[in-house]
Amino acid sequence: MKRIYFDNAATTALDKEVLDVMLPYLTEKFGNPSSIYSYGRESRLAIENARKSVAKILNAHPGEIFFTSGGTESTNTTVSAAIHNLGCRHIISSEIEHHATLHSVEHAHSKEKIKLSNVRLLSNGHVDMEHLRELLANSPERCLVSLMHANNEIGNLLDMHAVGNLCKEFDAIFHSDTVQTVGHYPFDLRNTPVHFINGSSHKFNGPKGVGILYVNENVKISPFIHGGSQERNMRAGTENVYGIVGFAKALELATTHMDEHSKYINDLRMYMMDELKKQIPDVGYNGDLYGRSLYTVLNVSFPKTEKSEMLLFNLDINGICASGGSACTSGADAGSHVIRAINSDPNKIAVRFSFGKDNTKEEIDMVIAKLKEII
């Protein structure tokens, strides 16, 4: 059976060119970067070249880029640093953040008695900027604002400059979870009012288990993980050399082909949206599809019936990979916290289709034909 993969917001296939640059560091170039002899120096050079490459692409300083195990570690590091190093006693976030953020801020609230507020959401799922201003203006404590750049389930895009400028006005720390957008959108961090962002290479055809944390050079923080002097004393543990090399190469390739891939992928998304509308009655869409929206994600709302309740299962047995919201909780039968927050209609079933550069219109036609059969 031919498998059709429409869950690229969960993870992407490793690019062959990325694997090629990683392989030497999995085989003959195996040195520990902390060692002073040639094997170690070779690995150290690879890491620092990767750091320079990532910094240049994001228009940041190499000293602002720290390699981590991925977006989740980067977010946890940020929340901990904001509380313990930067004097934040009030966190402002939203109900539709990734669980890496939701669970981190809830932990800080319950264990460390940090005040926690959720900014209101507009009917289309965007942040209510007036309410954010109100929360900041009325907070006697210094705030950490943690709001994601693109929602991983519905695709809504945050205006990072607007939020960052508001944070600047009220001396708040601003963290944006950019896991869905690093590698998919251009960044100019020298000219973006943000203190922390994070990235994860498996979202743009790089390896799993490696990410970055950007820490603005004006912010001084302590390590989250202790035990060694790696990452300039900021992140203990022997570096994931082949992962770091793979991250840099994947980001370089994604940036080189960004214009053509983003247009191609968005055309696929809008083609599927149009065809679904034509061929399946009462279909709808979650999020701001026609406005500020991530070009890789289409969140479709199907009428709830006996058949559609088993939709993901039936797609899977027909070789079609899609998600009922965030893949990070796909094993739990809890439904999507994002869909609950923006659309409480119990008569709808939400399915996220997310596209990559290797998907085709023919695959979309096959999926829609199967959806018509199932529903």
Which CATH number does the domain housing residue 167 bear? 3.40.640.10
Element at 197 (helix H, strand E): strand 196-200
Mark whether 224 and 272 lie in a shared domain: no
Q: How confident is the model over 213-244, as pLDDT tens digits?
A: 999 999 999 999 999 999 999 999 999 999 99
Three-class SS state of 223: coil
Per-residue confidence (pLDDT) for residue 330, from 0 to 100: 46
Per-residue confidence (pLDDT) for residue 218, from 0 to 100: 96
Which CATH number does the domain housing residue 321 bear? 3.90.1150.10
- Domain edge (last residue) among 214, 233, 256: 256
pLDDT value at 307 more than 80: no
- Domain edge (last residue) among 256, 275, 292: 256
Report the chain's mean pLDDT, rounded to a whole number.
95
Per-residue confidence (pLDDT) for residue 343, from 0 to 100: 80
Q: How many domains does the chain have?
A: 2
Catalytic annotation on 328? yes
d(Cα 97, Cα 290) in Å, to the nearest integer? 21
Mark whether 187 and 273 lie in a shared domain: no
Mark whether 140 and 183 lie in a shared domain: yes
- Domain span at 334: 4-12+257-374
| Structure confidence at residue 332 as a pLDDT band (50, 70, 90) | very low
- Exposure string for 209-233, b = 16+ CB within 10 A, e = fewer: bbbbbbbbeeeebebbbeeeebbee
Average pLDDT over residues 36-53: 97
- Exposure string for 127-153, b = 16+ CB within 10 A, e = fewer: bebebbeebbeebeeebbbbbbbbbbb
Average pLDDT over residues 61-76: 98
- Domain edge (last residue) among 256, 282, 305: 256
Q: What is the pTM of this model?
A: 0.95
Mark whether 149 and 28 lie in a shared domain: yes
Q: Which of 289, 327, 342 is nearest to 155 (CA)?
A: 289
CA distances from 362 to 164, 265, 324, 370 (A): 41, 14, 22, 13
Q: Which of 361, 375, 265 is nearest to 315 (CA)?
A: 375
Mark whether 176 and 271 lie in a shared domain: no
Mark whether 312 and 266 lie in a shared domain: yes
For residue 329, count CB atoms less than 10 angstroms from its CB and return exposed for 0-12, middle for 13-18, buried for 19 or more. middle
Mark whether 251 and 173 lie in a shared domain: yes
User: How many Cβ atoms from other residues are within 10 Å of residue 326's Cβ?
Assistant: 19
Mark whether 345 and 231 lie in a shared domain: no
Mark whether 81 and 162 lie in a shared domain: yes
Mark whether 319 and 290 lie in a shared domain: yes
Mark whether 226 and 263 lie in a shared domain: no
Mark whether 71 and 194 lie in a shared domain: yes
d(Cα 30, Cα 4) in Å, to the nearest integer? 36
- The CA-based diameter of the chain, rounded to the nearest angstrom, is 67
d(Cα 253, Cα 64) in Å, to the nearest integer? 22
| Structure confidence at residue 334 as a pLDDT band (50, 70, 90) | low
Structural contact between residues 26 and 14, judged by C-beta atoms closer than 8 angstroms:
no
